[in-house]
Structure 1
Amino acid sequence: MTPVDPTLDIERAQLRAAPVVIGMDEVGRGALAGPVVVGVSAVRAEEIEIGFPEGLRDSKLLTERRREALAPLADAWVWASATGWASADEIDQFGIGPSLAAAGVRALASLWEQGVPVDAATIVLDGTHDWLTPGCSAPLHVVTQPKADRDCASVAAASVIAKVARDRHMVELVETHPKWAPYGWERNKGYGSAQHREAIAELGACPEHRASWLHKILAGASR
């Protein structure tokens, strides 16, 4: 099956009523360890006219090598980009939904600091559920779009930028804490691979784990 290339059709449509469109996507929602990261990329008419980098796609449709190569190109193409983070501890305390919203707000705050008029923008959010608005102190114009990470170039750019940032972070955690090497984060990036689950069952959780997500694994190990 041939991968679907994104377009700028939705961005063009939204720019008729807003000066800037912000593509937003999250990575790490389903991981057992590490943060959840929200990527944002802002585009204006100028970026639409230039066109996005060749080969840009949803991060899930790219190899790790291609993502690494495309991330700086995507960052150079957009007007501004940022990532917002919420830790494993926050996810345990507040749940994944509020943590996603917090990470999204942090990413938007970074865009604001770069001069992007977030309050006047249209935010294109991948999926059908608006998880961002509950975390906002002021109303923003959020448009949900199923498969936006596949179909919208600004969201695909956000997805690649966020994925590369989070993957690098998970590798750095293992390099900084060699005792966590058995979890295999340099390969599974904190997701629930067989190696990761087996290591949790054998060694228990570390501070980067979402402890509230591990009850079944730890319960099975104690039998």
Structure 2
Amino acid sequence: MWKIGADEAGRGPVIGPLVVCAVAMPIEEHDNLIEIGVKDSKFLSSKKRQELKDWFISNSKTKPWHFSIIVCSPERIDSSSGNQGLNVLETELFAEAINAFPDNVKKSVIILNDACDVKPQRFSDRIANQLISWPWPKSSISSEHKADENDPFVGMASILAKEKRDECIKEISEQLGFSVGSGYPSDPNTKKIIPELLRDTPHPQLRWSWATVEREWKKIHDNELPKRNFAPKNQTTLF
């Protein structure tokens, strides 16, 4: 019996991608994950997250452990409209991550998602509708709020998603030549550099559909925010 846990990182930031990760492991690894200290990434230090990421990836080379990561660009995020659009987009990303697993994982598997919708069953149904050849033999899918806190498989996915998003933010900062902070609108370090990213045209790593961007653009340029040309590009990492 397999267990798939799936979670996201970066739903709310104004800068950078939204990252979704799914992990697939034999269900017998449950206690092993708990013993090693796997939990929701929000409750772990950066050092501990890195250690757990390295531990998982190292073991995945010799054990039947799999993970897939979907990096969703700001362009694709902007192409969804409003909060409901973002909820639907996330079901697409979760399904893409789960679909990426090899066929041997797609039977006798329990899939658990961290629900990104106020209605967990609706979230599950939307993902299931996008899974290739679903229903799979002897398999089930469900979603729960705080699954990343309550289930170590989802917790492991949250760690890998968070680490990947942090890598992306670091790369963006290096490309720009200055730190963009965490990318969240509430981060003072992010707030102070947004005007720089709006000097001429909105930077491609900004989420143009966020109210923060529109407000700052109008303050600087005293006109309407330009329309974005959508050319969504996602990256998939699969092991």
Tell me if both proteins adopt one fold, taking TM over 0.5 as the criterion.
yes
Which among 203, 211, 224 is matched to residue 206 of structure 1?
203
Which among 96, 101, 104 is matched to residue 91 of structure 2?
101
Relative to structure 1, is the Cα distance of residues 45 and 98 closer, same or farther in structure 2, using a 3 angstrom cutoff? closer
- The DSSP-based 3-state class of the residue aligned with 1:32 is coil
The equivalent of 2:189 in structure 1 is 195
Percent pairwise identity: 26
CA shift, 1:125, in A, is 1.1
Does the Cα contact within 8 Å between 2:21 and 2:158 map onto a contact in 1? yes
Return 5+ residue gaps in structure 1 as ranges: 1-18
CA shift, 1:42, in A, is 1.3
Per-residue Cα deviation, 1:126-156 (whole angstroms, up to 9, x for no partner)? 1353446435155453211221111100000
Q: TM-score, normalised by structure 2?
A: 0.72
CA shift, 1:197, in A, is 2.1
* Root mean square deviation, CA, Å: 2.5
**For 2:189 and 2:217, how far apart are their aligned partners in 1?**
14
Corresponding letter in the other structure for 1:156: G
Corresponding letter in the other structure for 2:88: P
CA shift, 1:86, in A, is 1.4
Does the Cα contact within 8 Å between 1:41 and 1:158 map onto a contact in 2? yes
More contact order relative to length (CA 8 Å, sep ≥ 6): 2
Q: Does 1:82 align with 2:68?
A: yes
CA shift, 1:202, in A, is 4.3
Does the Cα contact within 8 Å between 2:33 and 2:153 map onto a contact in 1? no
The equivalent of 1:216 in structure 2 is 215
Considering fraction of residues, name the structure with more helix. Answer: 1
CA shift, 1:109, in A, is 2.7
Return 5+ residue gaps in structure 2 as ranges: 223-239
Q: TM-score, normalised by structure 1?
A: 0.77
Question: What are the equivalent positions in structure 2 for 1:39-188 lying under 5 Å apart?
Answer: 39-48=21-30, 50-75=32-57, 76=59, 79-94=65-80, 95-112=85-102, 115-117=104-106, 120-127=108-115, 128-129=119-120, 130-131=122-123, 133-134=125-126, 136=130, 138=132, 139=134, 141-175=140-174, 177-179=175-177, 181=178, 184-185=179-180, 187-188=181-182
Corresponding letter in the other structure for 2:67: S
- The DSSP-based 3-state class of the residue aligned with 2:6 is strand
Relative to structure 1, is the Cα distance of residues 48 and 174 closer, same or farther in structure 2, using a 3 angstrom cutoff? same
Q: Does 1:37 align with 2:28?
A: no
Q: Which runs of 4+ in 1 moved over 6 A?
A: none
Does the Cα contact within 8 Å between 2:124 and 2:143 map onto a contact in 1? no
**Number of aligned residue pairs:** 197
CA shift, 1:88, in A, is 0.5
**For 2:25 and 2:153, how far apart are their aligned partners in 1?**
7
- The DSSP-based 3-state class of the residue aligned with 2:101 is helix
